[in-house]
Structure 1
Amino acid sequence: MNVSRLMDRRLLPLIGPLLLFGLWELVISAKWIKPVLLPPPGETLAYLWGAVTSGAILPDLLSTLWRTLAAFGIAVLIGVPLGVLLGSSELAYRSVEFVIDFFRSTPSSALIPLFMLIFGITDINKIAIASFGAMLIVLFNSAYGVMNAKKTRVMAAQIMGVSRWHVFKDVMLMESLAQTFVGLRSAVSMALVIVIVAEMFIGSETGLGHRIIDAQQVFNVKDMYTSILITGALGYLLNLAFLLVEKKLIHWSGKA
Structure 2
Amino acid sequence: MNSLLSSTKLRKTLELAVGPLLLIAIWWIAFKGGYVNKDLLPSPFETIGETARRVAAGELNEDFGHTLARVAYAIGIAVTLGVPIGIVLGAKAAVYRSVEFLIDFFRSTPATAMFPLFLLLFGLGDAAKIAVAAFAAWLVIVFNVAYGVLNARRTRILAAQSMGASSLRIFRDVIFFETLPQTFVGLRNAVSIALVVIIVAEMFIGATDGLGHRIIDAQISYELADMYGSILVAGAMGYGLNVLLLVLERRLVHWAGR
Considering the TM-score relative to the shorter chain, is it more than 0.5?
Answer: yes
SS class of match (1:219):
coil
1:34 Cα shift? Answer: 2.1
2:192 corresponds in structure 1 to 189
Residue 29 in 1 paired to residue 29 in 2? no
Distance of 2:118 and 2:31 partners within structure 1: 42
Distance of 1:249 and 1:7 partners within structure 2: 27
1:10 Cα shift? Answer: 2.8
Distance of 2:49 and 2:13 partners within structure 1: 26
1:55 corresponds in structure 2 to 58
Distance of 1:124 and 1:86 partners within structure 2: 27
Distance of 1:144 and 1:235 partners within structure 2: 25
2:19 corresponds in structure 1 to 16
Residue 134 in 1 paired to residue 146 in 2? no
1:110 Cα shift? Answer: 0.2
Unpaired runs of 5+ residues, structure 2, are none
Distance of 2:158 and 2:51 partners within structure 1: 56
Distance of 1:197 and 1:98 partners within structure 2: 27
2:71 corresponds in structure 1 to 68
Distance of 2:16 and 2:10 partners within structure 1: 11
After TM superposition, the structure 1 = structure 2 runs for residues 200-215 of structure 1, keeping only pairs within 5 Å, are 200-215=203-218
2:100 corresponds in structure 1 to 97
1:116 corresponds in structure 2 to 119
Distance of 2:138 and 2:233 partners within structure 1: 25
Distance of 1:44 and 1:186 partners within structure 2: 29
Distance of 1:62 and 1:54 partners within structure 2: 15
After TM superposition, the structure 1 = structure 2 runs for residues 212-223 of structure 1, keeping only pairs within 5 Å, are 212-223=215-226
Deviations 1:208-254 (A, max 9, x none): 00011111111111110010000000000000000000000000001
Distance of 1:36 and 1:48 partners within structure 2: 18
Residue 234 in 1 paired to residue 237 in 2? yes
Residue 172 in 1 paired to residue 175 in 2? yes
Distance of 2:20 and 2:9 partners within structure 1: 20
Distance of 1:80 and 1:240 partners within structure 2: 21
Distance of 1:28 and 1:144 partners within structure 2: 45
Residue 86 in 1 paired to residue 92 in 2? no
1:169 Cα shift? Answer: 1.3
Q: Which moved more, 1:34-43 or 1:225-234?
A: 34-43
RMSD of aligned C-alpha atoms?
1.0
> Counterpart amino acid of 1:140?
F
> Counterpart amino acid of 2:161?
Q
Distance of 1:127 and 1:16 partners within structure 2: 31
Distance of 2:99 and 2:30 partners within structure 1: 50
Q: How many residues align?
A: 255
Distance of 1:191 and 1:216 partners within structure 2: 23
1:23 Cα shift? Answer: 1.4
Percent identical residues: 51
SS class of match (1:38):
coil
Distance of 1:103 and 1:23 partners within structure 2: 36
Deviations 1:6-34 (A, max 9, x none): 32123311111011101111111111112
1:160 Cα shift? Answer: 1.6
Distance of 2:108 and 2:27 partners within structure 1: 34
TM-score of the two chains, using structure 1 as the length reference? 0.98
TM-score of the two chains, using structure 2 as the length reference? 0.97
> Counterpart amino acid of 2:222?
F
Distance of 1:148 and 1:112 partners within structure 2: 34
1:243 corresponds in structure 2 to 246
Distance of 1:6 and 1:203 partners within structure 2: 46
1:5 Cα shift? Answer: 2.6
- Over 4 Å off, 4+ runs: none
Unpaired runs of 5+ residues, structure 1, are none
1:158 Cα shift? Answer: 1.1
